[in-house]
């Protein structure tokens, strides 16, 4: 869901590393401007549905370590899960992925 990318911050200097890591995912935005548009749309959708739009900074190295530890391939869905866990924590993040909002 796009709203899970709300207010996600990836430094433009790090974006190439993220694209390379997610290279097998054909849906991953290849251009930084496309990523920014995904984040803008996600932020708009999250705000409209009452979900938090607190900025979450993505450390690409941390994301890649997390992906390795959780045995998932880096891709758009993995980044989405990473952002949910970063924003809500593991238990609340699981509820959020199932459609529930944390209390």
- Confidence label for 58 from pLDDT (cuts 50, 70 and 90): very high
Give mean pLDDT, residues 15-20: 98
- Confidence label for 41 from pLDDT (cuts 50, 70 and 90): very high
**2, 49 contact by CB (below 8 A):** no
Which among 75, 66, 76, 73 is positioned nearest to 38, based on CA atoms?
A: 76
Kindly report the average pLDDT of the chain as a whole number.
Answer: 89
Q: How many Å apart are CA 69 and CA 74, to the nearest integer?
A: 11
Q: How many Å apart are CA 2 and CA 89, to the nearest integer?
A: 19
């Amino acid at each position: 869901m796009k709203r899970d990318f709300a207010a996600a911050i990836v430094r433009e200097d790090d974006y190439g590393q993220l694209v390379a890591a997610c290279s097998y995912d054909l849906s991953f935005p290849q251009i930084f401007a496309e990523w920014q548009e995904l984040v803008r749309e996600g932020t708009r959708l999250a705000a409209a549905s009452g979900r938090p739009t607190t900025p979450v900074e993505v450390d690409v190295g941390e994301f890649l370590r997390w992906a390795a530890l959780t045995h998932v391939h880096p891709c758009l869905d993995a980044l989405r899960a990473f952002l949910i866990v970063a924003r809500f924590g593991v238990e609340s993040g699981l509820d959020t992925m199932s459609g529930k909002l944390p209390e």
